[in-house]
Amino acid sequence: MSAPAPNVVRPLAGWPAPLSAIILAAWVGATLYFSVVVTRAAFAVLPTRTMAGALVGQTLPILFDTGMLVGAILVGAALLSPAVAARTASLAGGVVIFLVTALARFVILARIERLRAAMPSAIDSLPVTDPSRRAFGQLHAMSVGALGLALLVGIVVIIVLAHSLSAAAHD
C-alpha cells in the first residue's frame, strides 16, 4: 500500500494563482505609478507640453505591450488552475486585459500617431475648436479609458485571486 502524498507537494498544484497574482500586481502597480506619478511629473517638469506628451507617448506602448503579456499569462494560468474562482477570474480578466490593451496599442495609439503626423503644428498651438485637436482629445480619452478599464479589471482579478488563495489556505 502506498502512502498518500505529503502535504508539501499539494500546494504546488495551486501555483498558477499566486504566480499570476504577483505578475498582475506588478503590472497594475507599474501602470498606476506611470499614470499617477510619471505623467504628472512629465507635464510639471518638462519645458513644454509637447515634450511631456512625447515622453508619455514613448512609454505607453510598453505598458500596453506588457498588459497584453499579462493578459496572456492570466489566460494560461486559468487553464492550469484547479480552483474554479481563480480559473474564472484569470480567464475572463486575462481576455479583457489582453483585448483592451491590444486595442489601445494597435488601434488607438496608431490613430494618435497618424493624427499627430498630419497636424500642421503642435497640439497645444491649435485652437480648441480645431477638428484635429478635438479628435486628439477624443483619442486621448479613449486611451486613458482603455488603460483605466484594464487596471480596474486587473484589480478585481487580484482581489478574486487573493480571496481564492486565502480560502484554499483555510481548507
Q: Which amino acid does the sequence have at 67?
A: G
Q: Which amino acid does the sequence have at 166?
A: S
Evaluate whether residue 65 is within a structural domain: yes
Evaluate whether residue 6 is within a structural domain: no
Q: What is the per-residue pLDDT for 9?
A: 40
Measured CA angle at 115 (ends 139, 141), to 5 deg: 10
Evaluate whether residue 19 is within a structural domain: yes
Measured CA angle at 66 (ends 65, 72), to 5 deg: 95
Cell of 31: 501602470
Evaluate whether residue 1 is within a structural domain: no
Evaluate whether residue 10 is within a structural domain: no
Per-residue model confidence as pLDDT tens for the chain (171 residues): 555 544 444 444 567 778 899 999 999 999 999 999 999 999 999 999 989 999 999 999 999 999 999 999 999 999 988 878 888 999 999 999 999 999 999 999 999 999 999 988 888 888 999 999 999 999 999 999 999 999 999 999 999 999 887 776 665
Contact indicator for 160, 86 with CB cutoff of 8 Å? yes
Helical spans, DSSP H, in 4-48: 16-33, 39-45
Evaluate whether residue 137 is within a structural domain: yes
Q: Is 169 left (phi over 0), alpha (psi -120 to 50) or beta?
A: alpha
Evaluate whether residue 9 is within a structural domain: no
Q: What is the pTM of this model?
A: 0.86
Structural domain range at position 103 = 15-170
Between helix 131-170 and helix 49-80 the angle, nearest 10°, is 30
Number of domains in the chain: 1
